[in-house]
Amino acid sequence: MISQPNVAVKIIIKWKDRILIRRHKNGAFDFPGGRMEFGETIIGALKRELREELDYNLTKEPQFLDVYNYVSRNKKRHSVFLNYFLRLSKKPKIVAKESAKNLWLTKKELISREIVKEGKFLDEIFSR
C-alpha cells in the first residue's frame, strides 16, 4: 500500500491548433512527463522527462497550468500532477521513445477519439 502520493510533472505542448499526446503500446494516452526524482527541481524533472521520452531539449520556460490530483478507484495509487503548458511557433523535432507513438491532435480529434473527456480542460488549453 502506498503511504504517500507520488509527484509527477506533465507538459502540454501546443503547435498551431494541435497538441502533442503520446500513445503507449498498451493503448493508453498521456502527455509527456513523469515522476519527479528525489531532490529534482520541477523544471529539471520536465527537462529530463522530455529528453528521455522525446529526445527534446526544453529551452523555453513553460507556463504553469494547474495541479491535478488523481486517486485510483482501488485507492492503491495516488498521484499529484503538476501540469505545464508550452506553445511553440514551429513544429519541434521529436523522437518516439519508450514504446510510445507521438501524435499531434486537434481538439476535435481528441474529443472524437475520447482521449480527453474533460471539456473545460480542452477549452482551456486550446484557447491559449
Q: pLDDT digit string (tens) for 20-48?
A: 999 999 999 999 999 999 999 999 999 99
Residue 47: inside a domain: yes
- Overall number of domains in the chain: 1
Residue 87: inside a domain: yes
Torsion angles phi and psi, residue 19, rounded to 5 = -120, 155
Residue 67: inside a domain: yes
pTM of the model: 0.90
Residue 112: inside a domain: yes
DSSP tag of 93 = P
Residue 103: inside a domain: yes
The CATH code of the domain that includes 96 is: 3.90.79.10
Rounded Cα–Cα distance for residues 99 and 59 (Å): 25
Helix (H) or strand (E) holding 18, with range, is: strand 18-24
DSSP reduced 3-state for 79:
strand
Residue 1: inside a domain: no
Query: Contact at 8 Å (CB) between 85 and 11?
Result: yes
Whether the per-residue pLDDT at 1 is higher than 60: the answer is: no
* Enclosing domain of residue 79: 6-126
Average pLDDT for 78-100 = 92
